[in-house]
Chain A
């Protein structure tokens, strides 16, 4: 990822919200904020207005290293013909409900 050019705008932060205890934080969107503390407040005001969560993280967008869409061939295609990796070939006993 190329470094962002110096901008008059505030930096971008990615927001992750945990909706319930025990669940993972899930990416919900991003906010602009001058610093981490303000990003937390902006995230609260933008993404948790309707009781969406009990906890969130904010991460500077610039700190995220993403996969290159041009590499999607070597990264993802090898998995296409390996359906046996899905656990769908096993018989699950009827008594097991939550799987």
Chain B
């Protein structure tokens, strides 16, 4: 076989592989944060907040259903969304580290949501124009949900920051915990570079300025200091996770692992 024929094929395969990994990342982000928010169910400080957090979690799990199903389709190895969600181990998960962080108190949950949703909104707004129609379709549906997540988290940042001494102390500590995981959201690697070149993906590094402006405005209103640059922790996209993800998966995957053929 001459190399002239196999080369385009290789390029196509590489692009497919990159698309699989990209969609899987997005799906993992939504799934893990959705699961984290579900942990608040029945435990939030008030009924109203309980429902709000559950609503957010369900939005995210809805996104994960679409994204993981699509990832399975791209991969073409017979794995569907459930298979990807419930039969993968920690090292194969490629979510960002921010979403797997434990909820901590309500303030830390809000800080985590605030940093994530502002990023996800910019990303999905960009993906609405993706050359990949399925991805664009998923982004268009999700962008309205995420706009509400941004609003919800931002309103709470303002109230906790500009609230009582106690709420301020807590949100400062929540921000302090989450901030080091923000850089990872804007990481560029071989996967994103390939897909940016074909107009499928959004260049994450290009979102940073708008992101800093958006979160800065909210932090100002909350009378909170803008977080100082700090060396970010990365590795989630390559499967290098904190210990917390293993515990989360153990709970989330228990049923399908213990009873592999269980159905609703």
Contact = CB atoms under 8 A, between A and B. Distances in A.
The answer to whether A binds B is yes
Interface of A: 10, 31-35, 37-38, 41-42, 44-46, 49
9 contacts: A33-B48, A34-B159, A35-B159, A37-B155, A41-B152, A45-B51, A45-B52, A45-B55, A49-B55
Nearest to B52: A45
* Interface of chain B: mostly helix, strand, loop or mixed: helix
B61 to A, nearest CB: 15
A42 B155 contact: no
Contacts of B152: 41
B47 interface: yes
A33 B45 CA distance: 12
A41 B52 CA distance: 8
B182 to A, nearest CB: 24
A61 to B, nearest CB: 14
A37 B158 CA distance: 12
Contacts of A49: 51, 55
B46 A10 contact: yes
A41 B159 CA distance: 14
Given A35-B159, A46-B48, A49-B51, 15 more contacts: A32-B46, A32-B47, A32-B48, A33-B48, A34-B159, A37-B155, A38-B155, A41-B151, A41-B152, A42-B49, A42-B52, A45-B51, A45-B55, A46-B51, A49-B55
Contacts of B49: 42
A11 B46 CA distance: 12
A42 B159 CA distance: 14
A60 to B, nearest CB: 15
Contacts of B159: 34-35, 38
A42 B156 CA distance: 12
Contacts of B47: 32, 46
Contacts of B51: 45-46, 49
A42 B44 CA distance: 13
A38 to B, nearest CB: 6
The 10 closest A-B pairs by CB, nearest first: A42-B48, A45-B52, A45-B51, A31-B48, A45-B55, A46-B51, A32-B46, A46-B48, A32-B48, A41-B152
Nearest to A47: B51
Query: Which of A32, A34, A45: most chain B Cβ within 10 A?
Result: A45
Contacts of B155: 37-38, 41
Interface string B43-65: 00011110110010000000000
A75 B124 CA distance: 58
Nearest to A41: B152
Nearest to A37: B155
A10 B45 CA distance: 11
A46 B155 CA distance: 17
Contacts of A45: 48, 51-52, 55
A64 to B, nearest CB: 19
Nearest to B159: A34
A45 B52 CA distance: 5
A34 to B, nearest CB: 6
Contacts of B151: 41
Nearest to B156: A38
Nearest to B56: A45
A32 B51 CA distance: 12
Contacts of A35: 159
A97 B46 CA distance: 48
